Amino acid sequence: MPETRDKHPFFLYDAIQSQPDLIDQVFAKQRTKIEDAAGAAAGKKRFVFIGIGTSLNAANVCERWMRFHSGGRASARAEQSFEFVHYPLALGPEDVAIVITHTGTTTKSIEALRAAKAAGAMTIAITGQKSGDGIQGADFHIETCEQELAFAYTKSYTTALAALAKFILAILEQRSLIKDATGADAALEKVPSLMRLALRSEIKIREIAKQVAPKQRLIFFGSGTGWATAVEAALKNKETSYIAAEGFETEELLHGPFSEIDSRGAIVAMLTGEPADDRARTILRAAGELGMLRVAVTVPDANRDIAAEHVVVLPEMAAWLAPFIHLVPLQVLTYYIAVARGVNADSGRQDQEAHARAHKVYKL
């Protein structure tokens, strides 16, 4: 039987806290593999990032990173594994398929990799250590960190993003599609230190969680890479607290979904110092008219005119690094919501008989 915990700190807490050190290890140990993969991929024309669940959120971040750093000149897209298998793209030798699966055993992600390889595309697998054999057919295999003990994946997500960010910067530099690869890489190397600073907000977030925990619904929203972060934060809350939670793109929240929310819910906004922040401020003011509990996660430059009961200020950073730094307080918030609700943050409900039976029916 695997080791279990029945009180704080759960394994999820350890995983959240370990992320800065693990990212440092990825930078140190995987550098050569990342550079080799980037060198082989640099001459290709299209990059398809494939994943499901948390890995799909990573894929969406990568698509936006490539667009941002290349000024929209690099051809990149994110694909969900199941959809890719059943509704495939026409791939060929000029394409690169990057499959993200921490365990390396996710059925549809393995099928996606095999389909891409059969079509003649170059394939890269991003997995955790000691992953399943099914992913071994990839042309390049980059490992991140040890396998997760908690049901909700955290360290596997951010370490995968770290490896993928290095990969993207290397490709764009070789293709002369990025103005300052050296500067971007230097900023990326600071991520572990910035995450350690962000983790210092734990005491404040623990108190916020006590107010959020009784709510019936959680809404997270952001734009750009913040959209993927919002979806990831909502997913973690579903996995750990079994609460209704959704992640939205900033403007999309106003086109229908806003009609469904009210004072029974809490809303969490991400501000990065970019022009889209103005719309986020408007949404927070509107949510106040509904009596919602409002939380803002922001950088110092954007910390103004924010209508929220709680504001968490992060260290100064380049906006494109938000998927790492903004995510940290959201992970901590997720964890302490589970603790406040009195549920096991690690189990994913698999300790409940009905859910355990259901899992055997739909196994991944």
Mean pLDDT by 10 residues, the chain (364 residues): 84 98 98 97 97 98 98 97 97 98 96 97 97 91 97 98 98 96 97 98 98 98 98 98 97 97 97 97 98 98 97 97 98 98 94 88 83
pLDDT of residue 134: 85
Closest CA to 26 of 154, 170, 126: 126
Q: Give the CATH fold of the 11-189 domain.
A: Rossmann fold (3.40.50)
Measure the CA–CA gap between 146 and 150, rounded to whole angstroms: 12
Q: Give the CATH fold of the 200-340 domain.
A: Rossmann fold (3.40.50)
Measure the CA–CA gap between 139 and 81, rounded to whole angstroms: 18
pLDDT of residue 2: 60
CA distances from 59 to 68, 244, 320, 336 (A): 14, 24, 15, 27
Phi, psi at 191, each rounded to 5° = -55, -50
Sheet holding 75-80, edge to edge: 75-80, 46-51, 95-100, 122-127, 140-143
Q: Helix %, strand %, coil % for the chain, to 5?
A: 50, 15, 35
Residues 6+ apart with CB under 8 A from 305: 281
Give, to the nearest 10 degrees, the angle between helix 155-174 and helix 181-189: 160
Residues 6+ apart with CB under 8 A from 32: none
To the question of pTM greater than 0.95 for the whole model, the response is yes
Domain ranges (residues) in the chain: 11-189, 200-340
